């Protein structure tokens, strides 16, 4: 019985020339570096999947969510309505996302003023999210680079600060802040 060292490989060279040693892997007994195994089933499967699969999967999930919102009509509080927001149910306060589903419903209906009435921040963010998705699809599927907004830390912080202020202001019980109450 011979070991891999007896087969002519020295401790400083990898056991297989196609898979060189990687300095980040733990050392394998008898070798200076660990030799990773060949790619597994999931890596081979991932290499075969077409580029359009991820955008199509996201579009399918979005279409399913949009269909569910349109069918259930979150603005109609009937006996068979889906349950409401647990934060509002337990505290009586609007959470940062309260009204988002109703705003989405009104956006799908094309009623922009009513959508903004239910969640102004979501209505503001919707065109940016749609454009970023379209630009990503163009880059991944068609290899076309569309201009996209650069989201620096300051921009993200400003958006989250505006969302936090909106979440606080919509819970104040006096005018003009009662307009934000949903």
- Name the DSSP class of 74: T
Residue whose entry in the numeric block shows the structure tokens 């109450």: 181
Q: Which residues make Cβ contacts (< 8 Å) with residue 104, sequence separation at least 6?
A: 66, 69, 115, 122
* Tens-place pLDDT, residues 146-164: 998 888 999 999 999 999 9
Q: What is the pLDDT of residue 5?
A: 46
Q: How far is CA 147 from CA 129, 136, 150, 153, 158, in A?
A: 13, 10, 9, 19, 21
pTM over 0.95: no
Question: pLDDT tier at 172 (50, 70, 90 boundaries)?
Answer: confident
d(CA 62, CA 20): 43
More confident residue, 130 or 87: 130
Q: Are 33 and 25 in contact (CB under 8 A)?
A: yes
Q: In this structure, how many other beta carbons lie within 10 angstroms of the beta carbon of residue 156?
A: 10
Averaged pLDDT for residues 104-119: 92
Q: Is the pLDDT score of 45 beyond 80?
A: no
Cβ neighbour number for residue 100 with a 10 Å cutoff: 19
- Closest C-alpha among 162, 31, 173 to residue 94: 173
pLDDT for the residue 8: 47
Which residues lie below 8 Å from residue 96, measured CB to CB, with a gap of 6+? 163, 164, 166, 167
- End-to-end CA separation in angstroms for the chain: 77
Residue 36 has a pLDDT of: 57
Nearest Cα residue to 84 out of 164, 72, 163: 72
pLDDT at res. 12: 52
Whether the per-residue pLDDT at 44 is higher than 70: the answer is yes
> 72 near 61, Cβ under 8 Å?
no
pLDDT digits (tens, 9 = 90+) for 24-41: 545 554 555 555 556 677
- Count of residues in the chain: 182
Residue-level pLDDT at 4: 46
pLDDT in tens, 47-82: 788 889 989 999 999 999 999 999 988 887 765 665
């Amino acid at each position: 019985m011979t070991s891999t060292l007896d087969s002519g490989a020295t401790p400083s060279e990898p056991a297989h020339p196609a898979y060189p040693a990687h300095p980040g892997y733990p050392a394998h007994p008898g070798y200076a570096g660990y030799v990773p195994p060949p790619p597994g089933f999931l890596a081979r499967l991932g290499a075969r999947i077409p580029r359009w699969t991820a955008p199509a999967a996201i579009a399918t999930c979005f279409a399913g969510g949009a269909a569910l919102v349109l069918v259930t009509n979150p603005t109609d509080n009937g006996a068979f309505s889906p349950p409401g927001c647990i934060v509002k149910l337990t505290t009586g306060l609007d959470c940062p996302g309260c009204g988002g589903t109703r705003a989405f419903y009104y956006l799908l209906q094309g009623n922009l003023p009513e959508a903004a009435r239910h969640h102004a921040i979501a209505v503001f963010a919707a065109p940016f999210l749609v454009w970023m998705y379209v630009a990503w699809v163009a880059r991944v599927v068609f290899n076309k680079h569309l201009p996209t907004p650069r989201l620096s830390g300051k921009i993200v912080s400003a958006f989250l600060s505006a969302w936090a202020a909106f979440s606080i202001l919509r819970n104040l019980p006096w005018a003009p802040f009662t307009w934000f109450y949903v």
